[in-house]
Amino acid sequence: MAKASAARTDTQHGGASLLLLIGGIAVVAFVVALLVVRSGSDDSSNVSTGASVNTVAPASAGPCGEGAPDPSYTMTTESDPNPPRSEGATFHLTVRHNGKAVTGAKVCVAANMPGMLHAGISSVATEASAGRYDTDLKFSMEGSWAGTVTVAEPGQPVVSIPLKVEVAPSAN
Protein backbone atom coordinates (compact mmCIF):
# COMPACT_ATOMS: atom_id res chain seq x y z
CA MET A 1 0.00 0.00 0.00
CA ALA A 2 2.82 2.41 0.72
CA LYS A 3 4.02 1.99 -2.87
CA ALA A 4 0.62 2.84 -4.36
CA SER A 5 0.40 5.94 -2.18
CA ALA A 6 3.88 7.08 -3.26
CA ALA A 7 3.03 6.52 -6.93
CA ARG A 8 -0.13 8.60 -6.60
CA THR A 9 1.85 11.46 -4.97
CA ASP A 10 4.43 11.41 -7.79
CA THR A 11 1.64 11.59 -10.39
CA GLN A 12 0.05 14.53 -8.62
CA HIS A 13 3.38 16.39 -8.55
CA GLY A 14 3.95 15.55 -12.22
CA GLY A 15 0.57 17.08 -13.09
CA ALA A 16 1.43 20.27 -11.21
CA SER A 17 4.78 20.48 -13.03
CA LEU A 18 3.01 20.07 -16.36
CA LEU A 19 0.61 22.90 -15.49
CA LEU A 20 3.54 25.15 -14.52
CA LEU A 21 5.29 24.34 -17.79
CA ILE A 22 2.18 25.12 -19.85
CA GLY A 23 1.65 28.39 -17.93
CA GLY A 24 5.29 29.38 -18.52
CA ILE A 25 4.98 28.70 -22.24
CA ALA A 26 1.80 30.82 -22.38
CA VAL A 27 3.57 33.74 -20.67
CA VAL A 28 6.54 33.54 -23.06
CA ALA A 29 4.19 33.41 -26.07
CA PHE A 30 2.35 36.48 -24.79
CA VAL A 31 5.59 38.46 -24.31
CA VAL A 32 6.84 37.48 -27.78
CA ALA A 33 3.51 38.58 -29.29
CA LEU A 34 3.82 41.98 -27.55
CA LEU A 35 7.36 42.42 -28.88
CA VAL A 36 6.25 41.61 -32.42
CA VAL A 37 3.41 44.13 -32.19
CA ARG A 38 5.71 46.86 -30.82
CA SER A 39 8.51 46.33 -33.35
CA GLY A 40 8.52 47.98 -36.72
CA SER A 41 10.84 48.56 -39.63
CA ASP A 42 12.94 51.67 -39.64
CA ASP A 43 14.83 52.85 -42.70
CA SER A 44 15.60 56.34 -41.45
CA SER A 45 18.44 58.64 -42.28
CA ASN A 46 20.39 60.29 -39.49
CA VAL A 47 17.67 62.72 -38.41
CA SER A 48 14.36 63.21 -40.16
CA THR A 49 10.77 64.16 -39.67
CA GLY A 50 7.69 62.92 -41.43
CA ALA A 51 4.21 61.55 -40.96
CA SER A 52 4.91 57.83 -41.22
CA VAL A 53 2.86 56.13 -38.53
CA ASN A 54 4.70 52.81 -38.90
CA THR A 55 8.05 54.12 -37.72
CA VAL A 56 7.05 56.58 -35.05
CA ALA A 57 6.27 55.91 -31.43
CA PRO A 58 2.93 57.28 -30.28
CA ALA A 59 2.90 60.61 -28.54
CA SER A 60 2.97 60.14 -24.83
CA ALA A 61 1.48 62.38 -22.19
CA GLY A 62 4.31 64.30 -20.60
CA PRO A 63 5.24 67.85 -19.64
CA CYS A 64 3.79 69.12 -22.94
CA GLY A 65 0.67 66.95 -22.84
CA GLU A 66 -0.45 64.52 -25.50
CA GLY A 67 -0.51 65.86 -29.02
CA ALA A 68 -2.25 64.95 -32.25
CA PRO A 69 -0.62 65.17 -35.67
CA ASP A 70 -1.25 68.43 -37.53
CA PRO A 71 0.22 68.88 -41.02
CA SER A 72 0.20 72.68 -40.65
CA TYR A 73 3.17 72.26 -38.25
CA THR A 74 6.60 71.54 -39.70
CA MET A 75 9.99 71.06 -38.13
CA THR A 76 13.60 70.95 -39.25
CA THR A 77 16.16 69.22 -37.08
CA GLU A 78 19.92 69.59 -36.78
CA SER A 79 22.21 67.82 -34.35
CA ASP A 80 25.64 68.57 -32.96
CA PRO A 81 27.51 66.33 -33.53
CA ASN A 82 26.05 65.19 -36.82
CA PRO A 83 25.32 62.33 -36.88
CA PRO A 84 24.23 62.19 -33.23
CA ARG A 85 26.21 59.84 -31.00
CA SER A 86 25.11 57.61 -28.14
CA GLU A 87 27.08 59.65 -25.57
CA GLY A 88 24.87 62.63 -26.42
CA ALA A 89 24.00 65.33 -28.89
CA THR A 90 22.45 68.77 -28.89
CA PHE A 91 19.38 69.01 -31.10
CA HIS A 92 18.26 72.27 -32.70
CA LEU A 93 14.57 72.07 -33.61
CA THR A 94 13.04 74.78 -35.78
CA VAL A 95 9.24 74.64 -35.46
CA ARG A 96 6.84 76.43 -37.81
CA HIS A 97 3.05 76.67 -37.92
CA ASN A 98 1.63 77.56 -41.35
CA GLY A 99 5.15 78.69 -42.32
CA LYS A 100 5.56 81.08 -39.37
CA ALA A 101 8.04 80.53 -36.53
CA VAL A 102 6.42 79.12 -33.39
CA THR A 103 7.44 81.23 -30.41
CA GLY A 104 6.70 80.90 -26.73
CA ALA A 105 5.75 77.22 -26.99
CA LYS A 106 6.62 74.35 -24.71
CA VAL A 107 8.46 71.81 -26.86
CA CYS A 108 9.11 68.28 -25.63
CA VAL A 109 11.05 65.42 -27.21
CA ALA A 110 10.42 61.76 -26.40
CA ALA A 111 12.06 58.83 -28.18
CA ASN A 112 12.72 55.13 -27.81
CA MET A 113 14.06 52.23 -29.81
CA PRO A 114 11.14 50.33 -31.33
CA GLY A 115 11.23 46.70 -30.27
CA MET A 116 13.61 47.27 -27.36
CA LEU A 117 12.53 46.93 -23.76
CA HIS A 118 14.79 49.56 -22.19
CA ALA A 119 13.53 52.98 -21.11
CA GLY A 120 13.24 55.72 -23.68
CA ILE A 121 14.50 59.26 -23.35
CA SER A 122 12.69 62.55 -22.97
CA SER A 123 13.55 66.20 -22.65
CA VAL A 124 11.94 69.63 -22.58
CA ALA A 125 13.61 71.93 -25.09
CA THR A 126 14.39 75.58 -24.40
CA GLU A 127 13.66 78.36 -26.87
CA ALA A 128 17.02 79.63 -28.15
CA SER A 129 15.61 82.11 -30.66
CA ALA A 130 12.32 82.75 -32.48
CA GLY A 131 11.07 79.32 -33.51
CA ARG A 132 14.27 77.48 -32.60
CA TYR A 133 14.29 75.14 -29.61
CA ASP A 134 17.40 73.38 -28.30
CA THR A 135 17.71 70.26 -26.19
CA ASP A 136 20.43 67.83 -25.19
CA LEU A 137 19.69 64.13 -25.59
CA LYS A 138 21.81 61.25 -24.33
CA PHE A 139 21.03 57.94 -26.02
CA SER A 140 21.59 54.63 -24.27
CA MET A 141 22.85 52.95 -27.44
CA GLU A 142 23.46 53.40 -31.15
CA GLY A 143 20.82 52.51 -33.71
CA SER A 144 17.43 53.67 -34.93
CA TRP A 145 15.36 55.74 -32.52
CA ALA A 146 11.79 56.87 -33.15
CA GLY A 147 9.78 59.39 -31.24
CA THR A 148 7.70 62.49 -31.11
CA VAL A 149 8.25 66.19 -30.71
CA THR A 150 5.23 67.59 -28.89
CA VAL A 151 4.48 71.28 -29.29
CA ALA A 152 2.23 73.10 -26.82
CA GLU A 153 1.80 76.52 -28.40
CA PRO A 154 -0.21 79.09 -26.41
CA GLY A 155 -3.81 79.25 -27.64
CA GLN A 156 -3.44 76.22 -29.91
CA PRO A 157 -4.19 72.50 -29.47
CA VAL A 158 -1.16 70.41 -28.52
CA VAL A 159 0.35 68.79 -31.62
CA SER A 160 2.86 66.03 -32.25
CA ILE A 161 5.49 65.88 -34.96
CA PRO A 162 7.18 62.53 -35.66
CA LEU A 163 10.94 62.24 -35.19
CA LYS A 164 13.38 59.59 -36.39
CA VAL A 165 17.04 59.58 -35.35
CA GLU A 166 19.85 57.30 -36.46
CA VAL A 167 22.40 57.29 -33.62
CA ALA A 168 26.00 56.60 -34.65
CA PRO A 169 28.42 54.47 -32.62
CA SER A 170 30.30 56.16 -29.80
CA ALA A 171 33.27 58.30 -30.83
CA ASN A 172 35.50 56.42 -28.34
Residues 148, 126: Cα–Cα separation, whole Å = 16
Are the CB atoms for 68 and 79 separated by under 8 Å?
no
Are the CB atoms for 64 and 150 separated by under 8 Å?
yes
What is the arithmetic mean of pLDDT over 91-114?
A: 96
What is the arithmetic mean of pLDDT over 150-167?
A: 95
Residues 58, 56: Cα–Cα separation, whole Å = 6
pLDDT value, residue 171: 77
Residues 73, 98: Cα–Cα separation, whole Å = 6
User: Which helix (H) or strand (E) covers residue 3, if one does?
Assistant: helix 2-38
Given a cut of 50, whether residue 32 has pLDDT beyond it is: no
Residues 93, 105: Cα–Cα separation, whole Å = 12
Q: pLDDT tier at 165 (50, 70, 90 boundaries)?
A: very high
pLDDT digits (tens, 9 = 90+) for 35-65: 333 333 333 334 444 332 223 334 345 678 8
Residues 165, 153: Cα–Cα separation, whole Å = 24
- 80 Cβ contact partners less than 8 Å away, ≥ 6 residues apart: 89, 90, 92
Q: pLDDT tier at 6 (50, 70, 90 boundaries)?
A: very low
Residues 52, 62: Cα–Cα separation, whole Å = 22
pLDDT value, residue 63: 77
